Amino acid sequence: MTVLEGARERWVRTGGVELCVAELGDSSRPTVVLVHGYPDSKEVWSEVATRLAGRFHVVLYDVRGHGRSTAPRPLRGGFTLEKLTDDFLAVADAVSPDRPVHLVGHDWGSVQAWEFVTVERTEGRIASFTSMSGPSLDHFGHWIAQRVRRPTPRRIGQLVGQGAKSWYVYLLHTPALPEAAWRGPLGRHWPRILRRLEKVPAGAYPTSSLPSDAAHGAWLYRDNVRSRLRRPRTDAHAHAPVQLITPLGDAFLSERLYDELERWVPQLTRRTLPAKHWIPRTRPDGLAAWITEFVASVEDGRPERAATGGRYADRFGGQLVLVTGAASGIGRATALAFAEAGARVIVVDRDADGAARTAETSRLMGAPEAWAEAVDVSDEQAMEKLAARVAAEYGVLDVLVNNAGIGLSGSFLDTTSDDWRRVLDVNLWGVIHGCRLFGRQMAERGQGGHIVNTASAAAFQPSRVLPAYSTSKAAVLMLSECLRAELAGQDIGVTAICPGIVNTNITSTARFTGVDAEEERRRQKRAARLYGLRNYPPEKVADAVLRAIVRNEAVVPVTPEARGARFMSRWVPGVLRALARAEPPW
């Protein structure tokens, strides 16, 4: 029996084999065909398929010789790309005879799907193609030839690097050895290997047919790889829009393989994600969202819609991002940067009107969706309600930015207990609430994510006039370091962003202790004027936030003075201590 709950099964006969086909969702809707790779069966797609079934007619089939489909006899010559194309057309004609299908492939499912989308006889049967972890053998052959004919140190390095990643291809060409390994110890231990190396969650995948699937699938390599790499087609141009999803931690394929892909694909959308090879099992939420967006854009007649966006659109397009303190300053700039990259943005601030304005601007800048939430991050119960509402209405976050903060200046002896509680409630407890509530949701989902906490250069730069503020930010920095260590094993990155003097309104709203109201207003104006003269824009901090997530950086001092203070705190702390004694400029 199939492990796809609620699936309808049928058998499609083609080329002397019978293919097991499973269908989910309403057959009157656009059809999405999912093609599995090696050594998998169609069940590798089960998590993605169930997420797509509410909106599409989802079709999965066991490739010949895999799962419940029968194997060709003899095996040799039975797995050529030409015969795999025959199989695909037979399935497409059976499940969607009157409309082209949207094709999705992973690993060898993607390799064969590149053949489908570039040969003349399938033109008009494919509406779009989403590729992941599997290049066209023709494109790969030209990629190799170009580096052999015109070698440079960089190209030679790429060739050697991919050659090392392809070690398993050489082994699969050896006679009898792969079959013996898969039917023996490798087949028994493969689920444990996947859990340990790829963090694939335990469950119904892989199925009991794995040993025979892997043994039969070795002929995919033997029947196609050498012949195509030696004599790649010169007409392998895609006749449908293509979405390329590249897992950056793929142990088998270099992302450099796709550097010249625009040569072959007139309409190309690129996506990247920090994950390993088996993303249909480890990142089903993100894949389902990207496939949905891409298919919808093609169905609307605007495939270019999914390709638009800012500098980091390939990384954050369609992701769910929450930013606190986003009504103004760094938080607003960060929310808008994510919106420009095509993310879905949740704007949180206790200023309801300011949050609504940021959400509206986010939509204008490219966010597919943006929502405003009026919440005080220091209120634990309010944050708990927010976390529950976000999970129920929007889903689990991909990125959390704990940015909300307040300023407080004054000597330690002039800072009251109430002053301390107020600054710690917002600057530290607000971060703790966000990390605890949304971080737990990320961890329980088990599909990675990233948390960014806004600290400050004050976190490692002592000051006689910022004891409470500096203490709160130093605590945020250490919390981030501890959390990064704890969540690393769950593919959740944690970054502490440490800006210096940035031109925001935090200075005009900061509290100054130990002075009367008139003097406090004068100092606020003086501080705001000094920060204005420095004129470091919050947009640069926002760019640093997105870049830090892409690079998974731990601590990011943003401004030159922040980087200088960070350097001195590590190598010449005595100098910083001496500077801390200086009188403030107000």
**One pLDDT digit (tens) per residue for the chain, 586 residues:** 346 778 999 999 999 999 999 999 999 999 999 999 999 999 999 999 999 999 999 999 999 999 999 999 999 999 999 999 999 999 999 999 999 999 999 999 999 999 999 999 999 999 999 999 999 999 999 999 999 999 999 999 999 999 999 999 999 999 999 999 999 999 999 999 999 999 998 887 889 999 999 999 999 999 999 999 999 999 999 999 999 999 999 999 999 999 999 999 999 999 999 999 999 999 999 999 999 999 999 999 877 666 666 789 999 999 999 999 999 999 999 999 999 999 999 999 999 999 999 999 999 999 999 999 999 999 999 999 999 999 999 999 999 999 999 988 888 999 999 999 999 999 999 999 999 999 999 999 999 999 999 999 999 999 988 899 999 999 999 999 999 999 999 999 999 999 988 867 666 667 778 777 776 677 667 666 666 666 689 999 999 999 999 999 999 999 999 999 999 999 999 999 998 888 776 5
Amino acid at 289: A
With respect to residue 543, please indicate whether it lies within any of the assigned structural domains: yes
- Residue 239 to residue 120: CA distance in whole angstroms: 8
Query: Last residue of some domain: 307, 324, 354?
Result: 307
Query: Last residue of some domain: 307, 342, 362?
Result: 307
With respect to residue 510, please indicate whether it lies within any of the assigned structural domains: no
Q: Which tokens sit at 79?
A: 């797995």
Q: Pairing state of beta strands 31-35 and 17-24?
A: unpaired
- Residue 115 to residue 110: CA distance in whole angstroms: 9
With respect to residue 585, please indicate whether it lies within any of the assigned structural domains: no
3-state SS string over 264-290?
Answer: CCCCEEEEEECCCCCHHHHCHHHHHHH
Q: Are residues 319 and 300 in the same domain?
A: no
With respect to residue 522, please indicate whether it lies within any of the assigned structural domains: no
In degrees rounded to 5, what are phi and psi of residue 365? -90, 0
Task: Please give the pLDDT value at position 2.
Answer: 47
Q: Are residues 290 and 348 in the same domain?
A: no
CATH number at residue 192: 3.40.50.1820
Domain holding 488, by residue range, is 313-504+537-580
Q: Are residues 135 and 204 in the same domain?
A: yes
Q: Are residues 275 and 423 in the same domain?
A: no
Q: Are residues 31 and 109 in the same domain?
A: yes
Block residue for tokens 């769910």? 320
Q: Are residues 297 and 326 in the same domain?
A: no
At 230-252, the pLDDT tens digits run 999 999 999 999 999 999 999 99
Q: Are residues 469 and 354 in the same domain?
A: yes
Q: Are residues 302 and 365 in the same domain?
A: no
With respect to residue 509, please indicate whether it lies within any of the assigned structural domains: no
The one catalytic residue in 61, 258, 469, 536 is: 469
Domain count within the chain: 2
With respect to residue 520, please indicate whether it lies within any of the assigned structural domains: no
With respect to residue 517, please indicate whether it lies within any of the assigned structural domains: no
The answer to whether the CB of 399 falls within 8 A of the CB of 452 is yes
Strand order across the beta sheet in which 242-247 lies: 8-14, 17-24, 57-61, 31-35, 101-106, 126-132, 242-247, 268-273
Residue 63 DSSP one-character state: P
CA nearest neighbour of 422 among 436, 410, 408: 408
Q: For the purposes of burial, counting CB atoms within 10 Å of the CB of 469, is it exposed (0-12), middle (13-18) or buried (19 or more)?
A: buried
With respect to residue 516, please indicate whether it lies within any of the assigned structural domains: no
For the whole model, what pTM was predicted? 0.89
Q: Which tokens sit at 460?
A: 């490692």
- Residue 494 to residue 553: CA distance in whole angstroms: 8
- Residue 300 to residue 304: CA distance in whole angstroms: 10
Q: Are residues 225 and 355 in the same domain?
A: no
Task: Please give the pLDDT value at position 311.
Answer: 84
Query: Last residue of some domain: 285, 307, 329?
Result: 307
- 258 in active site: no
The answer to whether the CB of 362 falls within 8 A of the CB of 347 is yes
Q: Are residues 286 and 349 in the same domain?
A: no
- Residue 514 to residue 516: CA distance in whole angstroms: 7
Q: What is the DSSP annotation of 199-245?
A: -PPPSS-S-TTHHHHHHHHHHHHHHHHHHHHHS--S----SS-EEEE
3-state secondary structure (DSSP) of residue 35 = strand
HSE toward the beta carbon, residue 503, CA cutoff 13 A: 10
Q: Are residues 198 and 343 in the same domain?
A: no
CATH number at residue 391: 3.40.50.720
Q: Are residues 339 and 468 in the same domain?
A: yes
To the nearest 5 percent, what fractions of the chain are helix, strand and coil?
A: 50, 15, 35
